[in-house]
Amino acid sequence: MIRIGLDIGGTGIQIGAVDQQNRIIAQDSIPTRTDLPFEQQVQLMTDCIYGLLDEKSNPELRMENVESIGAGIPGIADSDGVVIDCTNLGWKNVPLRKEFQKRINKPFYVDNDANVAALAESAAGKSAGTSSSVFITLGTGIGSGIIINGRVWKGFHGIGGELGHMILKLDGVRCSCGNRGCVETYTSATAIIRMAREAVADHPESLILSLAQGDPQRINAKLVFDAKKKGDPVAEEIFDRYISYLAQMIAGVVNFLDPEIVILGGGVSKAGDLLLDALRAEYPKYVLFNQLPLPRIEIAALGAEAGVIGAAMLS
């Protein structure tokens, strides 16, 4: 038996067939077409699935072997498979399950992409074998997925996992959600970029600005980390401040929920050991019972494929 996973993003959709060992055995992708009506977008996805099922290349790849189809979205869905809100795709209250099942009559599941990534990591990644974990994506925004007792916990009303919009600084920086001081405004890649742009305004001599070819609009998180590695003092100050914020946020997750392991994904996590070593040293300072064993912090093991594998695991 195989399962189909769709990783639906704002620019592209990854579609894969996954075997029972959670390995991708066939994969394809299509661009996200927000210019088309919702029904036609679903049609393109199901066309792609039919295209993937090529039993000549692999006898397993047949529709009758497909157990279920799952989709991860950068948004929120209810238990009836209705996408309540998915800003990047312009979806609001669209019946994704119903529309899929008109075309392929298989069990269909949809969940938030951070929950999906958390599930994939807990099956085939860094949290494999653990019963509780929190997966945090450090990207343009902050996403999170919670696993408790081996299952995704997305809340009683399905609105949990929005770690990015917990308040980390009362009356702090304005967030895209309209509130002030959300976790997202201090611990995302966007936060690093904001801090760097502010800093180079005062310190135009910083290596950050020359790496950005003199244009503050070209600054990104990787560039700040690169300048820090080369010893730029402005970049080092931003890095230390970012680590302090991130450590306080992660320590909050530990103080409140205390999972077995915390997994970091998303663009910022590509900084790898530079990020991990600093965080591991810093975060216990903010944990109340830090004399006891604490959750491990790790970088996600699965890369882009986590979205497809986790979506295929939905049930």
Give yes or no for residue 279 binding a second copy (CB under 8 A).
no
Q: Which two tokens stand for residue 103?
A: 């075309």
Residue at token pair 């914020």: 245
Please give the size of the binding site for a second copy, defined by CB under 8 A: 56
CB nearer a second copy, residue 59 or residue 293: 293
292 near a second copy (CB under 8 A): yes
- Helix, coil or strand: residue 231: coil
From 24, 294, 299, 301, residue interacting with a second copy (rule: CB under 8 A): 294
Amino acid identity of residue 51, one-letter, is G
Binding mask of the shown chain, residues 243 to 272, with x at each position contacting a second copy by CB under 8 A: --x--xx-xxxxxxxxxx------------
Which residues between 171 and 210 bind a second copy (CB under 8 A)?
171-172, 177, 179, 181, 186
24-32, 102-110, 143-151, 209-217 -> range binding a second copy (CB under 8 A):
143-151
Contact status: 286 vs a second copy (CB under 8 A): yes
Q: Does 157 bind a second copy (CB under 8 A)?
A: yes
Residue 219 dihedral angles phi and psi, to the nearest 5°: -65, 135
**Structure tokens of 178?**
């309209």
Which residues ranging from 22 to 61 are in contact with a second copy (CB under 8 A)?
none
Contact flag: residue 89 with a second copy (CB under 8 A): no
Q: Which residues contact 134 (CB under 8 A, 6 or more apart)?
A: 118, 144, 145, 146, 147, 163, 253, 257, 259, 261, 262, 263
Q: Is 76 in the site for a second copy (CB under 8 A)?
A: yes
**Distance between CA atoms of 213 and 207, rounded to whole angstroms?**
10
Cα–Cα dist 256/253, whole Å: 5
**Residue 101 backbone zone (phi > 0: left; psi -120 to 50: alpha; other: beta):** alpha
- Judged by CB under 8 A, the stretch of 4-12, 114-122, 204-212, 282-290 that binds a second copy is 282-290
Q: Which is nearer to a second copy, 106 or 241 (CB)?
A: 241
* Residue 155 DSSP SS3: coil
Q: Do 207 and 230 contact (CB within 8 A), yes or no? A: yes
For residue 207, the minimal CB distance to a second copy (Å) is 26
Examine residue 1 and tell whether it contacts a second copy (CB under 8 A). no
For residue 298, the minimal CB distance to a second copy (Å) is 14
Phi, psi dihedral angles at 177 (to 5 degrees): -80, -10
169 binds a second copy (CB under 8 A): yes
Residue of 20, 105, 149, 213 interacting with a second copy (CB under 8 A) = 149
Q: How many residues does the chain have?
A: 315
Q: Is position 113 an interface residue for a second copy (rule: CB under 8 A)?
A: no
Of 11-19, 162-170, 217-225, 303-311: span binding a second copy (CB under 8 A): 162-170
The set of residues, in sequence order, having a beta carbon less than 8 Å from that of 205 and lying 6+ positions away, is: none
Check residue 36 and give left, alpha or beta (phi > 0: left; psi -120 to 50: alpha): beta
* Contacts to a second copy by CB under 8 A: 76, 84-85, 130-132, 144, 146, 148-149, 153-163, 165-172, 177, 179, 181, 186, 245, 248-249, 251-260, 285-289, 291-295
